[in-house]
Amino acid sequence: MKSNDYLPHEVQIVARVQEAPDIFTLRLRFTDLAHHARYHFDAGQFNMLYLHGVGEVAISIASDPKDTHLIDHTVRVVGRVTKALAQLQTGDYLGLRGPFGRGWPMAAAQGRDVLLITGGLGCAPVVSVVHYVLRRRAHYARLIIMQGVKHTHDLIWRRQYDTWAAAPNTQVLLTADQTGQGWPFNTGLVTQLIAQAQFDPANAVAMLCGPEGMMRATAQALQERGLPDHDIWLSMERNMHCAVGHCGHCQFGGSFICKDGPVYPLPEISHLLGVKGF
Amino acid sequence: MNHFLAREDFPHLLRALTQAGYDCVGPQIRQGAIVFDHLHSVTQLPQGFQDEQQPAHYRLQQTDSPYWFDWSNGASAIKPYTFAPQENLWAVQRDQSGRLRFQATLPQPQKTAIIGVRACDLAALTLQDQHFLHGKHVDPYYQARRESLLLIGVNCTHAAATCFCVSTGDGPEIRQPYDLLLSEIAAGFLLSSGSTAGATLAAQLPLTPASDAQQHTAQQRMQAATQQQRHLPAKPPLFAHLNHPHWQTVGARCLACGNCTSVCPTCFCHQALEIPDLDGDTSRHERRWDSCFQPGHSYIHGWQIRSNATDYYRQWLTHKLAGWHEQFGRSGCTGCGRCISWCPAGIDLTAEVEQLG
Ligand SMILES: Cc1cc2nc3c(=O)[nH]c(=O)nc-3n(C[C@H](O)[C@H](O)[C@H](O)COP(=O)(O)OP(=O)(O)OC[C@H]3O[C@@H](n4cnc5c(N)ncnc54)[C@H](O)[C@@H]3O)c2cc1C
Ligand code: SF4
Ligand code: SF4
Ligand code: FES
């Protein structure tokens, strides 16, 4: 039979974790176990999750590529499909097709400092990298996790950040634009954290995820610290329907984010970053 | 072009096609415009008709000439025969335990012979093949339709005022693969075959060797179509001029109707829709042509990346004429001029590019 990248495969929810009031994780397994065994992905790739009668959404794969047991997706409720996905329970069935796109440069980052810089609520594509690096700690040099939120109460996974901070050779820097009482971290934008980050700009890779304005300002701050453009990587988001570069929705200049991204090195897209309308 | 098929023998071609199991499709007049539709008899062909096209203007004129293909191009290209305007991708059935059974609804198209395909539209078909078939992911729906087609090209003999295929390098002479190729002269057609299927059909026709005079006439008639009023630069540096004030000027005229994208033979945008049945357990996933002029096209949660005609038009033109070079190694415009004729505001991309270059 010809391959059909449009056709979902049935998956079952093996476990469901409520991470925050509007964020949950679905742990999935293909009901066709042979298909499950064949399934491989890279950190930073995404799947299209399908809910019967409702539709499909693009969701990053949050689990580790070497974990062949389950495929995890951490979803934030924002609209029609994600709201309906939030109602599902363990044992329910979904459709899944993927993996799609280009992931993070994990191979190129080996032996180097890894900077993860995120803005906004739970940034799933980058959480998978934290797990990835921590499980292969010897393969990477320093791990620096920088997260910025608007309000202190937007910080989910606070305990997780504490655990990460305790890991060897790992630095965690948190900040909020507006801070309240009992916030032991920084006040201000995530870009202001970069001054405190301990990394070797000649031997580091930065991975950015968040609103485009935040990624742009962060890239500039990293350039000022001497990090070359080709070591700065960004995860982009656009409307997606097909996920295979056919429907045109996710075009970003001359590229399709679903196929050529979602992860890009800065030089590939810098001419369009911040241009309104692209 | 060394064979000749007399005009009165053309029905032999239709018969040979039908006997070989092809559904014949050819140009016909519908609501004052030439479109492709089922063709049973040569009497349905637009004999003597010529088109007159200008920005926001398309008219057919009846002349007493004997020609059937003396118009330059019609409202629709052959795009709907490969990339369907609306198509089911798959269906899904939910059983009582909630399990989902997905089933691809691949089309099973009848073999179809399209008669009268123009150089610009064959070039556009090659581009759509590149997009849907030759990338990382193959589109099996497009592929099934594409493989069902037999293409009978006709070299142009007259260019509309909106045509500029010479400057894009796509016409008026057909250079892309075809099954049969025709050049029309008063007495009939010069014919050559470009595939095994074409040669098999040609072998069944009452052909005579084409004379030098006939070949000369055909060449001269085609030469007439190289006289074109419009011109598109090879690679306009549009991405370097994203803040040019002229985008606002054209945006103020654009009605955001999306006509340009639906008549364009290379535009491929589509959306996926989930259409549940009333029974609650059956649902189908459908795709439909979409347009970058639609507000929802660039919607991501909570906001639209592009929200006005200036942004829509800039997205369209930069994609068509610049982004395509990065994606497909050439421009996405084959010079057919349809977006000029069928734009109700008379917006002419060749003139806009001149301002924006
Ligand atoms: C590569 C990629 C990875 C993503 N990873 C995650 C993830 O791990 N976790 C998570 O919670 N969200 C993720 N998103 C965002 C997620 O796809 C959207 O939040 C989701 O599509 C919203 O769907 P909805 O129907 O609930 O919202 P609605 O607002 O009702 O959306 C309606 C339409 O807009 C499209 N759409 C809306 N927002 C987005 C968006 N941000 N990106 C792309 N299309 C959108 C939908 O596909 C749909 O067609 C990712 C998006 C992309 C492109
Ligand atoms: S952009 Fe206009 S002229 Fe060019 S191929 Fe499309 S419709 Fe034809
Ligand atoms: S350019 Fe013309 S045809 Fe295209 S959307 Fe604008 S008004 Fe409609
Ligand atoms: S989602 Fe369809 S082209 Fe990228």
ipTM score of complex:
0.93
Residue B242 DSSP symbol: T
Q: Which residues of chain A have pLDDT under 70?
A: 1-2, 121-122, 124
CB nearest to A277's CB, from B141, B285, B305: B305
Q: Which two tokens stand for residue A57?
A: 């959404």
Taking CA atoms only, the protein residue closest to ligand 4 atom 3 is A245
Q: Ligand 1 within 6 A of A152 CB?
A: no
Query: How many angstroms is it from A99 CA to the middle of ligand 4?
Result: 14
- Residue B1: the pLDDT is 60
pLDDT of the residue at A1: 47
The whole-number average pLDDT for the span B35-57 is 96
Q: Is B6 helix (H, G, I), strand (E, B) or coil?
A: strand
pLDDT tens digits along B174-232: 999 999 999 999 999 999 999 999 999 999 999 999 999 999 999 999 999 999 999 99
Residues 8-37 of B with CB under 8 A from A: none
Q: Which residues of A touch B314 (CB under 8 A)?
A: 277
Long-range contacts of B13-16 (CB under 8 A, 24+ apart): B13/B201, B13/B205, B14/B39, B14/B40, B14/B41, B14/B42, B16/B201, B16/B204, B16/B205
Q: Is A61 in the pocket of ligand 1 (CB under 6 A)?
A: no
| pLDDT average, residue stretch B352-357 | 91
Q: Does B139 have pLDDT greater than 90?
A: yes
Residues in Cβ contact with B25 at an 8 Å cutoff, skipping those fewer than 6 apart: B36, B37, B38, B39, B81, B112, B113, B114, B115
Q: What is the mean pLDDT of residues B116-126?
A: 97
B77 lines ligand 2 (CB under 6 A): no
Minimum distance, in Å, between the CA of residue A171 and any CA atom of chain B: 32
With an 8 Å Cβ cutoff, are B137 and A56 in contact?
no
CA–CA dist B282, B322 (Å, integer) = 43
What is the CA(A148)–ligand 1 centre distance, in A? 21
CB of A245 closer than 8 Å to CB of A254? no
| A256–B contact, CB cutoff 8 A | yes
Which position has the higher pLDDT, A183 or B54?
B54
pLDDT at B152: 98
Q: Is pLDDT at B67 greater than 70 in this prediction? A: yes
Point out the residue among B101, B136, B326 whose CB comes nearest to the CB of A254: B326
pLDDT, residue A122, reads: 55
pLDDT at B162 over 90: yes
Q: Does this model's pTM top 0.90?
A: yes
**How close is the Cα of B139 to the center of ligand 3, in Å?**
28
Mean pLDDT of all residues belonging to chain B: 96
Give yes or no for B86 touching A (CB within 8 A). Answer: no
pLDDT at A155: 76
Rounded to a whole number of angstroms, the distance between the first and last alpha carbons of chain B is 40
A123 is in an annotated binding site: no
Tell whether B306 is within 8 A of chain A (Cβ). Answer: yes
**Distance between CA B25 and CA B116 in Å, rounded?**
9
**pLDDT above 80: residue B313:** yes
Higher per-residue confidence, B76 vs A4: A4
Average confidence score pLDDT of chain A: 92
Inter-chain contact B327–A255, Cβ cutoff 8 Å? yes
Expressed in angstroms and rounded, the spacing between residue B308 Cα and the centre of ligand 3 is: 12
The pLDDT score that the predictor gives to residue A28 is 97
